[in-house]
Structure 1
């Protein structure tokens, strides 16, 4: 009995004196227990705050959440697009592409050189009344929204006149009233199709040179007639005055004398 007690005492002393065995038993006991979980507490004071990561801490490993990149909102002011100051009816202008590149304006849509151009628009047929080109007709047109190489002016029953791509006017010979004139655009893909606005008939203005000349002649004749009538009236008036003066004086009596009777 005494020996048994001694053996138990020695065993207890050995167990208490062995730290390695104690740590092994403790780790084994800890591994058999279920892991302790801690609830995650999230503090949300202000959603618009940029420092919310200070309120979000992982209690398990004391680490911060991954950094969140905020999108920067940029306000873009949209302005109304402005068209370039480029008239299709004026010649020798700066190309619209260069104006757009310099000012940022918008050019009208233009069809490419790989398709026939649209028809130009005739602006007017105007007779020249003075200068070296007196008696000729000036054709004015507006360019289409297309790539153009040359312009052709077609005169009914006459020749075809060719003008450069930058031209918007041209001189042709005298025309009879009612003559049809057309302007067509030409490029490497073909030519434009005649239309109601690319063709017109020559109708001279009402106040042409002939009518003005006739008016001047008529006015001169009328003025001459008025002068003749006025001269006749004045002549007759002078004749009446003379007749009255003669009748007032009367005829002299030869038997009458201031000195007495003869």
Structure 2
């Protein structure tokens, strides 16, 4: 029995030796040196360690880098903005807002549409040969119309782009006022006294005298031609009578 056991043990040892010689198992020291987190390097390749970039390219694509924005102090038209060529005393002009949007110029400071306008500036009230005409300058405000008063009563209403208007015939020593109007209300009044033209009666007399003289001259010419025609007719009739005798 002992001999058979020794024989079986030898056979087992021989088998183990043969198996180990065919596929050697790693020793304990080799297992300790092996890093289980490190990928195995194939044989024949260098064992250098490659460092991969740590940037997050997906984040860079989502948030692209933009160049810094520089503020331009010059107007988009390439020049320093200037005041618009807009005269508050001229009528039928292009609105200053339109000039500013097209040329980049600066309009004078205007009050808003929901604020009562400032008072206009009544420049003159004079006789132009056929009627009394008032002239004014617009305020730096939003205006929808102008009202001209004579003697405290409304006389005429004018458009927002007008700067003058005829008032017809007026008595002497009448107060004329102009008022700017918008949706918020009326401005204060700008007034002048109209004293009339002192030379108007003289002019009317001269014109009337000239017309009378022309009428008299025309009548005299007509009478002279009529007398001349009658003389010619009388001489013709006398000549005919002499020939018949």
**How does the TM-score come out when normalised to structure 1?**
0.49
Once the two structures are superposed, what CA deviation does each residue of 1:19-58 show, in whole Å capped at 9, x if it has no partner? 6xx48x89x936985757xxxxxxxxxxxxxxxxxxxxxx
Structure 2, unaligned runs of 5 or more:
39-48, 75-79, 203-245
In the other structure, the counterpart of 1:13 is 18
- Cα 1:191–1:71 shift into 2, 3 Å: closer
Q: Give yes or no for the alignment of 1:118 onto 2:111.
A: no
- Distance, in Å, in 2 between the alignment partners of 1:183 and 1:193 is 9
In the other structure, the counterpart of 1:132 is 129
In the other structure, the counterpart of 2:186 is 192
Structure 1, unaligned runs of 5 or more:
37-58, 214-262
- Secondary structure of the 2:97 match is helix
Q: Give yes or no for the alignment of 1:29 onto 2:23.
A: no
- Distance, in Å, in 1 between the alignment partners of 2:157 and 2:129 is 21
Q: Give yes or no for the alignment of 1:202 onto 2:199.
A: no
Count of residues in Structure 1 that have an aligned counterpart in Structure 2? 172
Q: Is the 8 A contact 1:182 1:200 kept in 2?
A: yes
In the other structure, the counterpart of 2:225 is none
- Secondary structure of the 1:202 match is strand
- Secondary structure of the 2:149 match is strand
CA RMSD of aligned residues (A): 4.1
How big is the shift at 1:169? 1.3
Q: Is the 8 A contact 2:91 2:162 kept in 1?
A: yes
Q: Give yes or no for the alignment of 1:83 onto 2:83.
A: yes
- Cα 1:176–1:31 shift into 2, 3 Å: farther
How big is the shift at 1:95? 2.0
**How does the TM-score come out when normalised to structure 2?**
0.52
- Cα 1:176–1:191 shift into 2, 3 Å: farther
Of 88-97 and 1-10, deviating more is 1-10
